[in-house]
């Protein structure tokens, strides 16, 4: 049965490629006719072939219009003649080269799993793993699924002609444009507890999402608090769109849920410890148990729920300091958590304090994560809205459109508020 499927599936994909390419070319024919006429007018050949190498080091001559509209749409001719597929191996040279002879039966594609995840900054499969997954799960449903994801992500998150600075300001808030691995290295490098007669403030890391930007838009004090952090990380598809309005490409989508497995693995290797502070009673403890189950050897220095009064603040700081934790996770919700960390950073004897929002609910299993297909489309917020419509209504149904209005219509994203 497997052999039959492995023989039949490429034929089905070829049929789909040819059918969809022909339909699309028919729809684009008026534009293509204009491209041909413009090329003739300028005494140029309408089409050129650009040699491009896929990640399996295979050369491909991709058709491209010399002048006119949608120049890369000419690659549909490659799909029609069978030299490319709509969904296949990535043609992105930035992904490096992979030498896997067993994957050569996969054609290069205009869309790929790796490219889709890269566009939304998703930290998931490596390029090699994504190709192995494609081959192992190869089917018509997978082909159609990633074709639709590719079309959606290319419309919303296309990265052509974008710059990738090390940091930039979005609505007056500094954002450090880092890779996930860079963020983890930075946290661990600064994680040694502040002890001894001379101590410097603990390092502060904040995640910047649409909600925190909206909160800071009219709140100068909170905006100042966010900018005083040592490191601010871009979290979510909304921030990615906001950055795009400034022609900036985010290197990765760095959220707490994706960061924790990588951070914990590194902390185990370096024998660092965590302290979990915040969330409802019992949630931090449940999250700590889950972390240790998933990362044997991880040191949990302590846990403390976040339902406290101001009178408890000194006791909390003393308990955290007594635990001698390397990294402190604070889950009190924005803007309380960021304000709390900044107010206590001179007293805290931890190396790094990270404001993590609702992270403990995810780590504990109290709230399930959005399915992968929604994360690949940058729609995790839709899943959260479905889970808690009353709680998240203002944040997402009102907040997200307001953010986009300010970024793309009012053009305020570059304003130094």
pLDDT 10s digits, 372-393: 888 888 899 999 999 999 999 9
Quote the pLDDT of residue 1.
45
Query: Is the distance from CB of 207 to CB of 255 less than 8 angstroms?
Result: yes
Q: How far is Cα 283 from Cα 361, in angstroms, rounded to an integer? A: 7
Q: How far is Cα 260 from Cα 258, in angstroms, rounded to an integer? A: 6
- Reply yes or no on whether the pLDDT at 301 is more than 60: yes
Tokens of residue 300, six digits: 């949990």
Query: Is the distance from CB of 208 to CB of 135 less than 8 angstroms?
Result: no
The average confidence (pLDDT) of the chain is 91
Q: How far is Cα 196 from Cα 204, in angstroms, rounded to an integer? A: 20
Q: How far is Cα 5 from Cα 91, in angstroms, rounded to an integer? A: 26
- What does the DSSP assignment read for 237-293? HHHHHHHHTTTB--S----HHHHHHHHHHHHHHHT-EEEEEESSTTHHHHHHHHHHH
Q: CA nearest 91: which of 59, 138, 136? A: 59
- Reply yes or no on whether the pLDDT at 116 is more than 60: yes
Q: How far is Cα 38 from Cα 253, in angstroms, rounded to an integer? A: 41
86 vs 411, which has greater pLDDT?
Answer: 86
Please give the sequence-ordered ranges of beta strands (E in DSSP) within 59-155, or none if there are none. 59-65, 85-87, 109-111
* First-to-last C-alpha distance (Å) of the chain: 63
Give CA separation, 217 vs 39, 341, 399, in Å: 48, 20, 11
Quote the pLDDT of residue 262.
95
Q: CA nearest 127: which of 56, 53, 52? A: 56
pLDDT 10s digits, 264-290: 999 999 999 999 999 999 999 999 999
Tokens of residue 95, six digits: 């992904």
pLDDT 10s digits, 156-167: 887 667 898 999
The mean pLDDT of 114-143, rounded to a whole number, is: 86
- Tell me which DSSP letter residue 74 carries: G
Quote the pLDDT of residue 310.
62
Give residue 368's pLDDT band: very low, low, confident or very high (50, 70, 90).
very high
19 vs 125, which has greater pLDDT?
Answer: 19
The mean pLDDT of 35-50, rounded to a whole number, is: 95
103 vs 49, which has greater pLDDT?
Answer: 49
Q: How far is Cα 143 from Cα 15, in angstroms, rounded to an integer? A: 12
pLDDT 10s digits, 49-83: 999 999 998 999 999 999 999 999 999 999 999 99
| 111 alpha carbon, distance to own chain's centre | 18
What percentage of the chain reaches a pLDDT higher than 90?
73
For 14, half-sphere exposure in the C-beta direction (CA atoms, 13 angstrom radius) is 11
Quote the pLDDT of residue 119.
84
The mean pLDDT of 221-227, rounded to a whole number, is: 96
**DSSP-assigned beta bridge partners for residue 275:** 302, 328
Q: CA nearest 115: which of 93, 135, 100, 98? A: 93
Q: How far is Cα 291 from Cα 154, in angstroms, rounded to an integer? A: 35
Quote the pLDDT of residue 126.
83
The mean pLDDT of 128-154, rounded to a whole number, is: 90
- Reply yes or no on whether the pLDDT at 198 is more than 70: no
- Reply yes or no on whether the pLDDT at 187 is more than 80: yes
Q: CA nearest 324: which of 291, 360, 275? A: 275
Quote the pLDDT of residue 229.
96
Quote the pLDDT of residue 311.
62
pTM for the model stands at 0.83
Q: How far is Cα 183 from Cα 167, in angstroms, rounded to an integer? A: 13
The H-assigned helical ranges of 253-398 are: 256-270, 283-294, 313-323, 336-344, 359-364, 372-376, 380-387, 389-392
329 vs 311, which has greater pLDDT?
Answer: 329
Please give the sequence-ordered ranges of beta strands (E in DSSP) within 66-119, or none if there are none. 85-87, 109-111
Residue carrying structure tokens 């296309």: 158
Burial class of residue 160 (count of CB atoms within 10 Å of its CB; 0-12, 13-18, 19+):
exposed
Give CA separation, 52 vs 56, 68, 112, 281, 397, in Å: 11, 21, 15, 56, 42
The mean pLDDT of 44-48, rounded to a whole number, is: 95
What percentage of the chain reaches a pLDDT higher than 70?
95
Residue carrying structure tokens 């994957």: 103
């Amino acid at each position: 049965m497997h052999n039959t499927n492995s023989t039949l599936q490429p034929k089905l994909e070829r049929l789909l490629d040819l059918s969809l390419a022909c339909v699309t070319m028919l729809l684009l024919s008026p534009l293509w006719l204009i491209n041909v006429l413009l090329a003739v007018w300028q005494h140029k050949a309408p089409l050129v072939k650009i040699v491009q190498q896929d990640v399996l080091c295979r050369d491909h001559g991709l058709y491209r219009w010399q002048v006119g509209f949608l120049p890369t749409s000419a690659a549909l001719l490659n799909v029609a003649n069978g030299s490319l597929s709509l969904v296949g191996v990535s043609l992105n040279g930035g992904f490096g080269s992979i030498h896997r002879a067993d994957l050569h039966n996969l054609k290069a594609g205009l869309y790929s799993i790796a490219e889709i995840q890269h566009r939304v900054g998703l930290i998931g499969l490596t390029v090699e793993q994504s190709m192995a997954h494609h081959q192992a799960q190869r089917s018509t449903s997978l082909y159609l699924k990633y074709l639709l994801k590719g079309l959606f992500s290319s419309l919303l998150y296309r990265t052509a002609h974008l710059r990738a600075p090390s940091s930039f300001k979005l609505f007056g808030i500094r954002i450090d444009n880092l890779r996930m691995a860079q963020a983890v290295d930075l946290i661990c490098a600064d994680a040694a507890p502040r002890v001894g007669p001379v101590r410097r403030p603990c390092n502060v890391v904040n995640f910047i999402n649409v909600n925190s930007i909206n909160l800071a838009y009219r709140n100068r004090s909170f905006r100042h608090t966010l900018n005083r952090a040592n490191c601010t990380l871009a979290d979510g598809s909304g921030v990615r769109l906001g950055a795009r309005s400034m022609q900036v490409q985010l290197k990765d989508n760095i959220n707490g849920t994706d960061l924790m497995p990588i951070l914990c693995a590194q902390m185990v290797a370096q024998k660092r410890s965590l302290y979990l502070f915040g969330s409802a009673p019992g949630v931090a403890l449940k999250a700590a148990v889950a972390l240790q189950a998933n990362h044997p050897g991880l040191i949990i220095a302590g846990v403390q729920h976040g339902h406290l009064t101001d009178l408890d603040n000194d006791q909390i700081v003393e308990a955290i300091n007594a635990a001698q934790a390397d990294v402190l996770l604070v889950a009190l919700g924005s803007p309380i958590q960021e304000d709390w960390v900044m107010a206590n950073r001179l007293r805290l004897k931890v190396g790094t304090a990270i404001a993590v929002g609702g992270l403990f609910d995810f780590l504990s299993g109290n709230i399930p994560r959005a399915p992968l297909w929604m994360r690949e489309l940058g729609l995790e917020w839709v899943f959260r809205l479905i889970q808690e419509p009353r709680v998240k209504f203002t944040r997402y149904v009102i907040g997200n459109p307001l953010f986009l209005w300010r970024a793309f219509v009012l053009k305020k994203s570059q304003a130094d508020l």
